[in-house]
Amino acid sequence: MTPAHAEETVAYCDSPLYAINVYRDFTSETSATSLNIRVFWREKSLIFADLPARRSHFFNEGFTYTSQSEVSDDYSTSLWTLFIPANEGQSCLIFRNGEAFDNGNVTQREVRSL
């Protein structure tokens, strides 16, 4: 990462098998930001997906972050979705190609604006 490039974690889901990081990517050259979802496979110590994402807010329920990709058998290009509940006592949910895939602990969540 160069000084002209920075990332800010927006949401993070920590499961025994995977870690999902949703982050904003800042590039000073354009002063633009983009939202991305990164999937880390603990067993292999491997980032196998790092894709552009979009965010949806469900009123009082939480945020959903979905990769801008298609349904695929290839893990690196699959459709990934992360649900971060508003309730701090609930687990985050990870979906792959629309199917429940894993769940874990929320270690960072996006701050809701009033």
The set of residues, in sequence order, having a beta carbon less than 8 Å from that of 71 and lying 6+ positions away, is 78, 79, 97, 98
- The answer to whether residue 57 sits within a structural domain is yes
Q: Looking at the domain assignment, is residue 112 inside a domain? A: no
In a domain, 85, yes or no: yes
- Answer yes or no: is 38 within a domain: yes
Residue 13 belongs to a domain: yes
Residue 42 sits in which domain range?
Answer: 5-105
Residue (of 86, 97, 23, 88) closest to 59 by Cα position: 86
How many distinct structural domains can be found in the chain? 1
Q: What is the pLDDT of residues 85-113, one digit of tens each?
A: 998 899 999 999 999 999 999 999 987 65
Backbone angles phi and psi of 76, in degrees to 5: -70, -20
The answer as to whether 113 is a domain residue is: no
Q: Is residue 111 part of a domain?
A: no
pLDDT digits (tens, 9 = 90+) for 5-55: 678 999 999 999 999 999 998 865 655 578 999 999 999 999 989 999 999
Whether residue 96 lies inside any domain: the answer is yes
